[in-house]
Amino acid sequence: MIDLQDKNYGPAMEELEEYVGNPVFLQFCSEIKAAYQCKEKIEYSSCSWEKGWNVKFKKAGKSLCTIYPREGYFTVLVVVGTKEKPFVEELLPDCAAELRSIYRETREGNGQRWLMVDLEERGRLYDDVLRFIRIRRNS
């Protein structure tokens, strides 16, 4: 088993898939790559908030999302900035209750909300996160 905190060992995507141990992880990453014709970038974050290896997706220099591998699931970070906010808030009433709660409870700073969403299955929450990423890409 890999150690996501080991800065000296950069894991491959296959190792991250094995670490997560949930097929939804690969499915989510594949959907992002297919939808936006982008590749993942595995990076080490020294941020005290979320230290360790993560998977970033960017398109045209803009961050789409960052994925934090966990055992059995993964966490997706989606930033809702000032450009995305009106579109996200219009969509919010139709979103999963869990995502509405995360949005409400996430404090806004510098005009942004950094939403951390845990995913372990394909369902409404999964689809809503993809919708937020689409808004981010198109804004």
Radius of gyration of the chain (CA): 15
Task: Report pTM.
Answer: 0.93
Which residue, among 28, 32, 106, 37, has the nearest Cα to 69 in the 3D structure? 28
Rounded to whole angstroms, how far apart are CA atoms 50 and 53? 9
Rounded to whole angstroms, how far apart are CA atoms 93 and 82? 19
- pLDDT tens by residue, 2-31: 888 888 899 999 999 999 999 999 999 999
pLDDT of residue 87: 96
